[in-house]
A and B are shown apart, each in its own frame.
Chain A
Amino acid sequence: MNDVYIVSAGLSKFKKYNYDEDFRLMVKRAFDYALNDTDITHKDIDGSVSAYFSDHIQGQLIAGAMTNDYIGLATKPSKRIEGGGATGGLAFQTGYEEIASGNMETCAVYGFESMSHLNTWKGNDVIALGSDSNFDYPLGGFYTAYYALMATRHMHEFGTTHDQMAMVSVKNHGNAIHNPFAQSPMKIAVDDVLNAPMVATPLTMLDISLMSDGAACVILASEERAKSLCKNPVKIRAIGSSSDTMRLSDRPFGNVPLLACESEDDYKNLKYPGVHSFRAGRLAAKMAYERANIKDPLKEIDFAELYDSYTSAEIQAYEDLGFCKYGEGGKFIEKGYSEINNKLPVNPEGGLLASGHAIGATGIMQAVYAFWQLQHSIGKHFNSNRLQVEDAKKGVIHSHAGTGAYETVSILER
């Protein structure tokens, strides 16, 4: 396999409503940003991968092809990748595969979603169709409820508290204050989260990620092309992915797949994954870590872009990705370990909770932020160095579909 690098990246501003730009123009903004940032031209791009979740959200089928011609890539090979909330993460890995296999030397990977075109209730409905339409959706199942079922069990199993979940929201909204691309920068306190309108117990409005209009783009290249196109490319060290049952009810009660830093004794009485943890996240991380030769993620990883679709999911991801043992995720945030310039900063730019969640763009947005962190160019893109993780050498990005029906973990290093 050929080594794969990120040579440039771009974002649109994430917004609750962007009626001035449709999905094609939002992608163009992100793509042009990437072209300009590294002085790349259309001629340098061999092909592309597009990422978006729902035809109903765009009000348009084959929206990827429309976008591709709009940004000037017609005639080049292109495909669309879809996998729920993991859409962007999967598309990023597909771009990696295009280069690693030698099928392309350069590949533009872009993602988008225009969520403002459905009202929130309808949006909940459309997204809920991404759950079993015989057994789960007709109950009034929707994603906040499914994650709430998991959070409730996590609290029961491990003693995690709503206060701890709220701390994730406080952190991520606070980080976003210094990110000019972010949709919802806010200085809030734990009580604001706890007292926000209840959506599905225990999750309130401020435990839940945003619905956004936005687009993101990264340009990937082989080693040779990366060297000629870019002064400081970032290597994609490894990718990992996994899948799990769509229905929560089908998840078994077995043993934890152990990371190098864990032992069987750690989890003697834990039935796994049940509905407290994301097995696909654990398996994706395990695959990526083994490929990147990472033994102790807490020590070896400098920052992470985790899929904080809900505050509870960020805490669960600390555990799934082995930043701490299962059951210690609540303490991990409580001790401040995931704050910027602490042990392992998580979502330093605000995550899905505060930077934005334009579904198909999300996994690529994470790659953009990780790329800038590893280039040490946050100051240039954000007009402030506040969110630059000091001496960042290795970062991880992570995304979910459904309640972990697909998950991706990719490891980037400078």
Chain B
Amino acid sequence: MKNDVKGTEIYKTDPLVKRWDYSLSYIHSYAQDSEFFKSLGKNILLGSYCKKCNYKYGTYRKYCMYCGGETQDIELPLNGKIHTFTTCYYSGESFMNDIPYTLILVEFKGIDSLFMSRLINKENIKISIGMKVKAKFKRLQKFDVNDVYFIPEL
């Protein structure tokens, strides 16, 4: 118990307010989404296709949300366009060290729905809707959705 060594942090005495740290390590399984995350290590961005509905999902899902049928994995194009974007100057605590960063929703030709990702914009190009972007993959795979990101395609 760290607190016992360091002493207990008291913020106020009236009313009595103390610091209480609690945390947990979660055993996170990607379960039926695993193939998507494994494929990022092979520089492949997977989407899903429902044959029955003839619908192509830009974000991987193993079952079609319209008919309930199992989807087929498809490779998404690695080039797309910005559907919308935002640059974040604040964040949740877990991402404080990343700010500022830009999130985009990517649209792909021939795919019916979108994909959310980060845009790494090293040259500080002015971002706009409709701008062409291309997927890049992290060399060191961390097995999360940040293993893929997008950059402006000039």
Q: B76 to chain A: closest CB distance in Å?
A: 12
Given that A145-B86, A275-B114 are known contacts, is A134 also in contact with B30, CB under 8 Å in the complex?
A: yes
Which bucket holds chain B's interface residue count?
Answer: 35 or more
**B74 — which chain A residues lie within 8 A by C-beta?**
none
Q: Which residues from chain B contact A203 at a C-beta distance below 8 Å?
A: 86
A248 interface hit (Cβ, 8 Å): yes
A126 to B92, CA, bound (A): 8
B137 within 8 A of A: no
Cβ–Cβ contact A249 & B59, under 8 A:
yes
A residues near B85, Cβ cutoff 8 Å: 149, 152, 201
Q: Give the contact stretch, choosing among A95-103, A135-143, A355-363, A391-399.
A: A135-143
**Are A148 and B86 closer than 8 Å at their CB atoms?**
yes
- B-contact 0/1 string along A186-216, CB 8 Å cutoff: 0000000000011111110000000000000
Q: Which B residues lie within 8 Å of A197 (CB)?
A: 89
Query: Would you call A251 an interface residue if the criterion is a C-beta within 8 Å of the partner chain's C-beta atoms?
Result: yes
B34-60 interface code vs A (CB 8 A; 1 in, 0 out): 000100000000000000000001111
A135 touches B84 (CB 8 A): no
Judge whether A144 and B90 touch: CB under 8 Å: yes
Closest chain B residue to A247 by CB distance? Answer: B59
Interface residues as binary, B93-124 with A (CB distance below 8 Å gives 1, 0 otherwise): 11110110101010000001111111000000
Which residue on A lies nearest to B130, using beta carbons?
A156
> Which residue of B33, B86, B91, B95 contacts A134 across the interface (Cβ within 8 Å)?
B33
Nearest residue (CB) in A for B118 is: A139
**Is A200 touching B84 in the complex (CB atoms < 8 A)?**
no
Q: Which of A82-90, A117-125, A291-299, A382-390 lines the interface with chain B?
A: A117-125
Partner of B96 from the list A121, A144, A149, A153 (CB cut-off 8 Å) is: A121
Of the listed residues B37, B93, B101, B117, the one surrounded by the most CB atoms of chain A closer than 10 A to its CB is B93
Would you call A249 and B112 a contact (CB within 8 A)? no
* A70 at the B interface (CB under 8 A): no
By beta carbon, the residue of chain A nearest B84 is A153
Complex-state Cα separation, A20 to B85, whole angstroms: 41
The 8 Å CB contact of A141, one of B103, B115, B129, is: B103
Nearest CB on A from B149, distance (A):
9
Q: Which residues from chain B contact A251 at a C-beta distance below 8 Å?
A: 113-114
Tell me, in angstroms, the Cα distance from A156 to B83 when the chains sit together.
10
Count the A-B residue pairs with Cβ separation under 8 angstroms: how many? 128
> Given A138-B146, A139-B116, A249–B105 Cβ distance below 8 Å?
yes
Contacts of A135 in B (CB 8 A): 59-60, 116, 145
Flag if B91 contacts A201 (CB, 8 Å): no
Q: Is A38 an interface position by the 8 A CB rule? A: no
Give the shortest distance, in Å, between B141 (CB) and chain A (any CB): 14
CB distance from A174 to the nearest CB of B (A): 25
CB proximity of A58 to chain B, nearest CB, Å: 12
Q: Which residue of A lies closest to B31 (CB)?
A: A134
Instruction: Name the residue in A19, A150, A251 with the highest tally of chain B Cβ atoms < 10 Å from its Cβ.
Output: A19
Asked if B145 contacts A139 (CB within 8 A), the reply is yes
Scan residues 1-39 of chain A and give those whose CB is less than 8 A from a CB of chain B.
Answer: 19-20
Query: Is A265 positioned at the interface, with any CB of B under 8 Å from its CB?
Result: no
Query: Is A125 within 8 A of B129, CB to CB?
Result: no
- Whether the Cβ atoms of A150 and B113 lie closer than 8 Å is no
Is residue A239 contacting chain B, with contact meaning CB distance below 8 A? no
A333-377 interface (Cβ within 8 A of B): none
Pairs across A and B, CB under 8 Å, 12 listed: A119-B93, A121-B93, A122-B92, A137-B92, A138-B146, A144-B88, A144-B90, A145-B88, A152-B85, A199-B89, A249-B113, A275-B83
Closest 8 CB pairs of A and B: A125-B92, A148-B86, A140-B95, A121-B93, A153-B84, A249-B114, A124-B92, A249-B59
